[in-house]
Structure formats: structure tokens, C-alpha cells
């Protein structure tokens, strides 16, 4: 942040996409695995106070935006690149949750009715709440809902009404998509063969899905066939390229955890990325709005995918041979 905002070297801010976002990502795993359980009571309150104090200093003395998400028209965003203010926000909210956790757990165990049902779909609510915001804006703003300055007294007075507009839209989205989170029975994967190869396929799937989501976040959904792509991390993307990544990732995930021929699918996707990369490198893929960096990236992704599959296949064969050799 010093290099970006103090010295004007904007390109350095790219590394914050790793430093900042990976912090809550890893803390989430530590939280789920119980490694943060010892941060409780007064320690958790101190943790929260440090985060909140840092956040207040960041948005006052430090000049960081008050909004933790990007606001169109603003000169500076906390999310592009991710900023120190988001680190302070993470520390503050995590400390608050750790301090309140004992009481929340008691209440959640006793919760029934609507609250009990909502406790089963927290991830669905998280993943779709921004869509509810977008739908509400698309409906309410053309009908004359006031658009006032963020943080003003009138803005705060309108918050209850705004939340009342969002709630039914979010509820409809949760009802539509909760089935992906609430499974009636766990999926048994113990019978699946060649686990390492499947994991390699999943790795390629995750890379594909991440590219697709990141790409749509940058390009949006308009003009899918444009030859002038949007650039992120030096990679040029357009909606058609993003759609290809998403479809490839979804198919690989589907194949990896079923008895279907997952290995040919994984090899086909890796080979496809290689072909796209080489074609884009030679300037023959304007339809996907690839620049030289995108082409090289696809070549590297396809090469790593095929290499990972080859190593995983060899490891599974060695494991099978050892199992067969046991008396």
C-alpha cells in the first residue's frame, strides 16, 4: 500500500490480490479446524478492538475509502487493489465472531423454525446476496428509489427500507439454490478408483473455474464476441473465453467424482488449453480476445495440466501395485 498510494507505483498493488485475500481464506480454515478456539473472551475482544481501531485509523487518518467494496465513480477503491483496510476489517470481524461465538452456538443449537432452516444454508445466502442487491437495484432505482450519498444521515435512514427490499429477493434465490448446499445424504467417494488422478482433474477444474469467475468479474456479460478484451493481471479476456473456462471447469468437477471417463475429459481440457494457447500465440484467436500473455498462460496451464495428470496416473499405478503385492 505504501508503494501504491504513497509512491505511486500502481503495478505493485497486484501482489495484494494474494496477500490480502489469502489472509481471510487461511483464517477461515484455521477457524473451521479449531485452531482459533483459544482466542476467546478478553483475548477475542482485544483482537476485535485492534482490528476496529486499525480500520477507523485507515479510513480517517490513512485516507482509505469508507466503503469496503468498490464504488463506481470513486477515485480509490479498497478492493482494487485489495487494501490494508480490508485486513483491518478481517481482524475486527473475526475478533467479534470469536468473542460472540459461545453465545451464538447456544442460540443456534436451540434455534427452530425459520432461523433453524436458515442455519442450514449460510453459504447459499453468502453466494447469492450480491445478486439480490443487483436485482433490487434494477427494480427499485428505475421506480424512483432515492439514491443518496453513501454514509449520509438520509442514507442510514433508508437502510431498513433497503433491507426490506432485499430480503424477499434473497429468500427466492435461497429457495432456488439451497439444494446445492443441503444434501439429504453424504456422497460416498470411497469406492472411486485412482484418487490421485481424480485430484489432478479437480485441480485443473478449480483453475478453470477461477479463470471463468475472475474473467466475468472483469468483463461482465455484454458483448461476448468482442475482439477487444478486458485485461486483468496482464491477461486479456472476453465473455466467450470466460464461458469456455467455466464450462470446462464444471464438466471436470462433474466427471471427477463419478465413474464416468474422467481421465479422457481431463486430458482433453488440458490439450484444448494447449491448442488455444498456441493458436492465440500466433494471432489466430481474435474471437477469444487473447493477447500474448493470455496465450502463454493457456500454454502453461495446458502443459501443467497434462504433467499433473501424468504424475498422478503414475502415482496411482504405484499405489495399486503396492496394494496388489501385499500378502
pLDDT at residue 274 in the model: 86
Could you tell me the pLDDT band of residue 284, with boundaries at 50, 70 and 90?
low
Residue 232, φ and ψ in degrees, nearest 5 = -135, 130
Whether the predicted pLDDT of 134 surpasses 90: no
Contact 257, 187 (CB under 8 A): yes
Could you tell me the pLDDT band of residue 44, with boundaries at 50, 70 and 90?
confident
74-125, pLDDT tens digit by residue?
A: 677 877 788 888 999 999 999 898 888 888 888 877 777 777 777 888 889 9
162-207, pLDDT tens digit by residue?
A: 999 999 999 999 988 888 887 766 666 666 777 788 888 888 999 9
pLDDT-wise least confident of 15-19, 34-38, 58-62, 255-259: 255-259
196-255, pLDDT tens digit by residue?
A: 888 888 889 999 998 888 888 777 776 666 666 677 767 778 888 888 899 999 888 888
d(CA 125, CA 115): 13
Residue 235, φ and ψ in degrees, nearest 5 = -95, 130
pLDDT at residue 179 in the model: 83
pLDDT at residue 151 in the model: 76
Residue 326, φ and ψ in degrees, nearest 5 = -70, 140
pLDDT at residue 77 in the model: 82
296-318, pLDDT tens digit by residue?
A: 888 898 999 989 889 988 888 88
| pTM for the whole structure | 0.61
Contact 237, 219 (CB under 8 A): yes
Residue with cell 498456441: 278
C-alpha cell at position 146: 432515492
pLDDT at residue 89 in the model: 92
Question: CB under 8 Å to 36, separation ≥6 — which residues?
Answer: 27, 30, 94, 98
Contact 284, 245 (CB under 8 A): no
Whether the predicted pLDDT of 283 surpasses 80: no
Amino acid at each position: 500500500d505504501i508503494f501504491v498510494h504513497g509512491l505511486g507505483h500502481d503495478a505493485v498493488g497486484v501482489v495484494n490480490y494474494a496477500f490480502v485475500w489469502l489472509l481471510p481464506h487461511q483464517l477461515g480454515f484455521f477457524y473451521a479446524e479449531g485452531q482459533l478456539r483459544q482466542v476467546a473472551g478478553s483475548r477475542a475482544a482485544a483482537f476485535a478492538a485492534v482490528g476496529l481501531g486499525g480500520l477507523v485509523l485507515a479510513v480517517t487518518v490513512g485516507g482509505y475509502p469508507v466503503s469496503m467494496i468498490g464504488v463506481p465513480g470513486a477515485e480509490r477503491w479498497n478492493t482494487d487493489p485489495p487494501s490494508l483496510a480490508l485486513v483491518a476489517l478481517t481482524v475486527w470481524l473475526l475478533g467479534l465472531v470469536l468473542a460472540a461465538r459461545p453465545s451464538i452456538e447456544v442460540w443456534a443449537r436451540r434455534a427452530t423454525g425459520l432461523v433453524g432452516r436458515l442455519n442450514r444454508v449460510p453459504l447459499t445466502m453468502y453466494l447469492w446476496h450480491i445478486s439480490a442487491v443487483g436485482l433490487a437495484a434494477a427494480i427499485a432505482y428505475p421506480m424512483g428509489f432515492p439514491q443518496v450519498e453513501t454514509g449520509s444521515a438520509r442514507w442510514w435512514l433508508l437502510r431498513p427500507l433497503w433491507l426490506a427490499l432485499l430480503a424477499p429477493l434473497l429468500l427466492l434465490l435461497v429457495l432456488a439454490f439451497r439444494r446445492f448446499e443441503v444434501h439429504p445424504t453424504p456422497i460416498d467417494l470411497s469406492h472411486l478408483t485412482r484418487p490421485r488422478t481424480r485430484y489432478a482433474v479437480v485441480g485443473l477444474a478449480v483453475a478453470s473455474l477461477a479463470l471463468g469467475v475472475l474473467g466475468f468479474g472483469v468483463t461482465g456479460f455484454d458483448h461476448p464476441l468482442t475482439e477487444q478484451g478486458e485485461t486483468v493481471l496482464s491477461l486479456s479476456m472476453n465473455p466467450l473465453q470466460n464461458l469456455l473456462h467455466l464450462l470446462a471447469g464444471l464438466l471436470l468437477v462433474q466427471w471427477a467424482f463419478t465413474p464416468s471417463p474422467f481421465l479422457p475429459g481431463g486430458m482433453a481440457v488440458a490439450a484444448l488449453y494447449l491448442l488455444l494457447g498456441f493458436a492465440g500465440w500466433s494471432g489466430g484467436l481474435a474471437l477469444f480476445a487473447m493477447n500474448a500473455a493470455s496465450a502463454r498462460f493457456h500454454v502453461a496451464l495446458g502443459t501443467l495440466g497434462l504433467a499433473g495428470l501424468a504424475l498422478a496416473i503414475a502415482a496411482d499405478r504405484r499405489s495399486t501395485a503396492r496394494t496388489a503385492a501385499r500378502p
